[in-house]
Amino acid sequence: MSQERAIAHLEAIRQDIRDEIKKRVQQRDRYSIQLTIALSAIVAVSFSNPDWSKVLIAAPLVSIYFTMLILYSYRVHRISAAYLREKIEPELARLCETSPDIEWEKYYQAHAVPGIRESFFKWALWVVTIASLVYLWTLESKNCGFIIALSLTTAAYIGTALWIMCAFRREKKAMRDWPQKTAPRYRNAVFLDRDGTINVDTHFPHRIESLEFIPKAIDGLRLLATLPLDIIVASNQAGIARGIFTRNQMSQFNAELRTRVEDAGGRIDAFYFCPHLEMKHLRPGDSPCACSKPSPGMLLEAAMDFKLDLSKSFLIGDKTSDIAAGESVGCVTILVKTGKEGKEEGALPVKPEYLAENLYDAALILQSYLEPGKVN
């Protein structure tokens, strides 16, 4: 990719992220106003007439609903900002020969995540919930049936809140199937497509009994294991969104693949996946996700987890979508003549830097590329 094209591509990504941050800030303002109005109405109604005091039981439910929306908005804001701050801005600064601090301060500092406000919403959730339920408990202390119902409702509210908060924490790992915790060793990596590059693409392969390695793939993985780089599999798994198989089935397939590779003397350091529909499966008007190749989301996520320099990393795949994803973040790209051979449906007009007959030949290219003096 020429420097001009790389700059234009990164600037487009930067603008998309900035627009997303603006949208999330405006979204939180709307949710905050709606939450305030809803709680005010509930309190006003409950205190206007003693017979309507039980209306106050709706306050915790409303608080949980809007607070979770607000906290999720903060989370998307943080992830978007992290990509912008840690990946896009520094790379643009390098290509444009400017200071990344200057580029960053132009926009992000004016929209920094307001941590105090986020903490306020977290505390507000519990304060409103507990205060409302204690008030109702006091009002109905002589009504045993109501106390039992209130106790169950309280447990449901608290359980729901804890479950959603835990889900938010797990979501960051949604694109990494394995390992649960990363152990970065190198500053560069080789990203491998899975189906059609390592194993035979049997059209949404997910059954362990159908796992079959492409000829010379094991040899290639064995050679890659001797090189000073992390080996990361990044694959689109749209079969999950289409209901063909489950995430658990995909994980079992990946685990079996990794076990066989390790038994043969190879190594795989991580599996990343996109469970969403690919562009060719989307309905007209639907927007693609940021992790399905040719988008580089999986690569960016892995770069953050493993602290990688993507400009010194590599990508090997059998589809033009693989090549486009690697090219967009500055990886050295190699197209293997296995699987789709770059002739998949909706093939993109991109050219890899290298062509290889199979994964082993691609590994030989990497071996020569990593000779002293070529990659630091």
- Quick one: pLDDT at residue 103? 54
Q: Is 369 exposed, middle or buried (0-12, 13-18, 19+ CB in 10 A)?
A: middle
The yes-or-no answer on residue 269 being catalytic is: no
- Quick one: pLDDT at residue 301? 87
- Quick one: pLDDT at residue 263? 97
| Of the candidates 168, 170, 62, the residue with the CA atom closest to the CA atom of residue 125 | 62
What ranges do the domains of the chain cover? 3-171, 176-369
Residue of 177, 193, 318, 322 with catalytic role: 193
- Quick one: pLDDT at residue 152? 59
- Note the pTM of the prediction, 2 decimals: 0.63
pLDDT digits (tens, 9 = 90+) for 141-186: 656 555 555 565 666 656 655 665 565 554 444 589 999 889 899 9
Residue of 16, 19, 51, 195 with catalytic role: 195
Between the alpha carbon of residue 55 and those of residues 7, 52, 314, the distances in Å are 57, 6, 60
Q: Is the peptide bond before 228 cis (omega within 30 degrees of 0)?
A: no
3-state SS, residue 246:
coil
Residue 54 CA to chain centroid, in angstroms? Answer: 42
- Quick one: pLDDT at residue 252? 96
- Alpha-carbon gap, residue 104 to 107, rounded angstroms: 6
Alpha helices, DSSP H, located in 172-319: 217-224, 247-263, 297-306
- Average pLDDT of adjacent 10-residue blocks, the chain of 376 residues: 71 81 85 87 82 75 81 81 77 75 51 52 67 64 58 62 56 73 93 98 94 98 97 96 92 97 97 91 78 90 89 96 93 96 89 97 95 59
The yes-or-no answer on residue 230 being catalytic is: no
- Alpha-carbon gap, residue 155 to 152, rounded angstroms: 5
- Alpha-carbon gap, residue 109 to 120, rounded angstroms: 21
CB 231 within 8 A of CB 269: yes
Residues 6 or more apart in contact with residue 111 via CB below 8 angstroms? 21, 22, 25
CATH for 176-369 (3.40.640.10, 3.40.50.2300, 3.40.50.1000, 3.40.50.970): 3.40.50.1000
Strand-pair category, 270-274 with 189-192: unpaired
Sheet holding 230-236, edge to edge: 176-178, 270-274, 230-236, 189-192, 314-317, 332-336, 354-356
Long-range contact list for 106-113, CB < 8 A, 24+ apart? 107/18, 108/21, 108/81, 108/84, 111/21, 111/22, 111/25, 113/74, 113/77, 113/78, 113/81
CB 294 within 8 A of CB 325: yes
- Quick one: pLDDT at residue 100? 62
Q: Is 175 exposed, middle or buried (0-12, 13-18, 19+ CB in 10 A)?
A: buried
- Quick one: pLDDT at residue 374? 57
